[in-house]
């Protein structure tokens, strides 16, 4: 789950994931790859809170930078993080806090494009200027455009930036009742995606999901159990104080949630490989695979290797863990992370496609395979808000064929009795249940393992595991319910080959 992907859709995670780069969202929104410019949501520079972005005297320049940045950003020809990063490279005089406010304002505009565009239809000056002011107001009020108190405080901060009439205009738009807006406008979704979310029961749940996707993701870490424990990591983070305040994640056993947005790359723990930044939902995905010590395991679409490293830690650095990907650059990004992790069982392997000869040579030899498939990334909109404007229904159809092909190819690797996990960071049934059901229909030598059964070891008291239900075997996480990215998982097992005894009787 991605899951940022050059496009799991046409998304903001640059790079390919077993297919053409323009087809789906990439995984290169690695928050530690360019730490001075990225946050845990995969966006450029984490918001550091109202009053802390920068000296207020710099706000006029922030508005100017946003005006310059927005035309390219809103053309949606490139992933948003790539556009913002390129702009920052062209403006080296900007400090970290300047970048923080500009980036968070830009992503606020992407999250609320429909709403802000309608509000910006009034007022004076250029559209880019009005959008820039709305983005700054949202960032300074921590997204609280609908909160009178927070909006009023943000407008006061912007007062010396504003031209005649703009103060009154911002005051006016901040008082508009969001409930009076058209659902597409207040929920900031394209019509096709709003309709797709409507396939799920309950109008309220659709609104709640859309609203949750407009808030930045939380910052989760995975304690690297090869070097530390969650308890030790919590103690070390809390000892740092301030924005490093940490609590346990509610579901993932090795997860730590940081309450602020600190510069993690500067910590001793990061440099020593004590943790990786990884969404709690992504951490749980490794438990669906449930790798064991000494096994042969393949992460079929490894990307920069966040899940690979989690799987390797569960294997206690034993056996062999192959990390397949079609992007040499992304596999190269895995190497320093692997070195910090202390894992010796990870073997990155570049493949040219899902039909690479290297895959054929391992056919029937692997115990477990994870297919974290290229997808639209609609479960990651908290991190990659531009995806909802860049993806299209036609793009989804193209992805469906790729997902089908990759899953079929990966299934050939399994030994009898081996486990195959198909996963996406999508919320769309056509990328999830439809692909899983079609795979079962076309591969009678596989059977479903209910997700609740696969995750049962994490919930020994008998409660229903997170993301599971009694009426279907699949695993689904929701941002508005679980506080994670949106993830889907399907667990399959390759049936054992029946043996024939001397009397011609088949035995399992």
Tell me what the pLDDT averaged over the chain comes to. Answer: 86
Q: What is the pLDDT of residue 30?
A: 35
**Would you place residue 377 in the very low, low, confident or very high pLDDT band (cuts 50, 70, 90)?**
very high
pLDDT band at 200 (very low <50, low <70, confident <90, very high): confident
Among 6-10, 49-53, 81-85, 127-131, the range scoring the smallest mean pLDDT is 6-10
Q: 46-60, 111-125, 140-154: which range is least confident on average?
A: 46-60
How far is the C-alpha of 74 from the C-alpha of 280, rounded, in Å? Answer: 30
Q: Is the dihedral of CA 118, 83, 214, 143 positive or negative?
A: negative
Q: What's the pLDDT at 58?
A: 66
For 79-90, write each residue's pLDDT tens digit.
999 999 999 999
Q: What pLDDT score was predicted for residue 50?
A: 35
pLDDT in tens, 282-333: 999 999 999 999 999 999 999 889 999 999 999 999 999 999 999 999 999 9
* Number of helices (H), then strands (E), in the chain: 21, 14
Residue 11, pLDDT score: 33
C-alpha distance across the termini of the chain, in Å: 35
Instruction: State yes or no: pLDDT of 393 exceeds 90.
Output: yes
More confident residue, 26 or 220: 220
* Distance from C-alpha of 122 to C-alpha of 60, rounded to nearest angstrom: 21
Residues in the chain: 508
Whether pLDDT at 497 is above 60: yes
Q: Lowest mean pLDDT: which of 155-169, 241-255, 472-486?
A: 155-169
- How far apart, in whole angstroms, are the C-alpha atoms of residue 447 and residue 495? 7
User: What pLDDT is attached to residue 407?
Assistant: 98
Per-residue pLDDT, averaged over 469-491, amounts to 95
| Secondary structure class of 61 (helix, strand, coil) | helix
Q: How many CB atoms lie within 10 A of CB 335?
A: 13
Strands 255-258 and 320-325: unpaired
On the question of pLDDT at 141 being above 60, the answer is yes
pLDDT tens digits along 255-270: 999 998 888 988 999 9
Alpha carbons 138 and 216: distance in angstroms, whole number: 12
From the list 54, 55, 35, the residue with the least C-alpha distance to 45 is 35
Higher pLDDT, 305 or 19: 305
Six-digit token string for 285: 């995905």
Catalytic position from the list 301, 375, 425, 468: 425
**Residue 215 DSSP SS3:** coil
**DSSP string over 280-308:** HHHHHHHHHH---TT-EEEETT-TT-HHH
**Residue 425 known to be catalytic:** yes
- pTM for this prediction: 0.86
Which pLDDT score, from 0 to 100, does residue 503 have?
56
Domains defined for the chain, CATH in brackets: 44-181 (1.10.940), 219-278 (3.30.70.1170), 281-500 (3.40.50.150)
């Amino acid at each position: 789950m991605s899951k940022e992907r050059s496009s799991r859709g046409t998304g903001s995670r640059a790079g390919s994931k077993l297919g053409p780069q323009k087809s789906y969202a990439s995984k290169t929104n690695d928050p530690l790859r360019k730490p001075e410019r990225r946050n845990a949501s995969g966006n450029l520079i984490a918001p550091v809170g109202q009053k802390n972005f920068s000296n207020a005297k710099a706000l006029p320049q922030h508005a100017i930078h946003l005006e310059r940045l927005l035309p390219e950003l809103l053309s949606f020809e490139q992933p948003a993080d790539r556009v913002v990063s390129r702009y920052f490279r062209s403006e080296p005089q900007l400090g970290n806090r300047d970048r923080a406010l500009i980036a968070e304002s830009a992503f606020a505009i992407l999250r609320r494009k429909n709403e802000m565009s309608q509000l910006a239809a009034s007022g004076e000056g250029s559209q880019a200027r009005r959008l820039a002011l709305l983005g700054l107001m949202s960032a300074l009020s921590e997204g609280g455009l609908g909160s009178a108190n927070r909006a009023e405080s943000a407008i006061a901060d912007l007062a010396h930036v504003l031209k005649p009439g703009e103060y009154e205009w911002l005051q006016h738009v901040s008082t508009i009742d969001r409930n009076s807006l058209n659902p597409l406008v207040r929920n900031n979704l394209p019509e096709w995606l709003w309709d797709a979310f409507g396939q799920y029961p309950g109008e309220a749940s659709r609104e709640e999901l859309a609203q949750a996707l407009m808030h930045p993701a939380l910052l989760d870490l995975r304690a690297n159990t090869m070097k530390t424990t969650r308890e030790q990591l919590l103690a070390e983070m809390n000892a740092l104080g301030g924005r490093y305040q940490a609590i346990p994640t509610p579901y993932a056993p090795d997860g730590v949630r940081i309450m602020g947005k600190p510069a993690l790359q500067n910590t001793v723990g990061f440099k020593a490989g004590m943790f990786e930044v990884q969404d709690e939902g992504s951490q749980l995905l490794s438990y669906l695979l449930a790798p064991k010590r000494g096994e042969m395991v393949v992460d079929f679409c490894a990307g920069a290797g966040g899940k690979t490293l989690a799987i390797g830690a569960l294997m206690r650095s034993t056996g062999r863990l192959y990390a397949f990907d079609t992007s040499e650059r992304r596999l190269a990004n895995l190497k320093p992370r692997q070195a910090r992790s202390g894992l010796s069982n990870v073997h990155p392997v570049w493949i040219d496609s899902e039909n690479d000869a290297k895959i054929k040579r391992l056919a029937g030899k692997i115990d477990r395979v994870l297919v974290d498939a290229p997808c639209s990334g609609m479960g990651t909109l908290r991190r990659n808000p531009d995806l909802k404007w860049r993806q299209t229904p036609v793009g989804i159809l193209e992805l469906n064929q790729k997902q089908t092909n990759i899953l079929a190819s990966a299934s050939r690797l399994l030994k009898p009795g081996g486990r195959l996990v198909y996963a996406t960071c999508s919320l769309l049934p056509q990328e999830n249940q439809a692909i899983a059901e079609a795979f079962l229909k076309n591969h009678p030598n596989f059977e479903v393992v209910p997700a609740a059964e696969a995750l049962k070891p994490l919930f020994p008291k008998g409660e229903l595991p997170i993301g599971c239900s009694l009426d279907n075997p699949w695993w689904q996480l929701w941002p508005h319910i679980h506080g994670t990215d949106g993830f889907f998982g399907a667990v399959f097992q390759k049936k054992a080959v029946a043996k024939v005894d001397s009397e011609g009787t088949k035995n399992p």
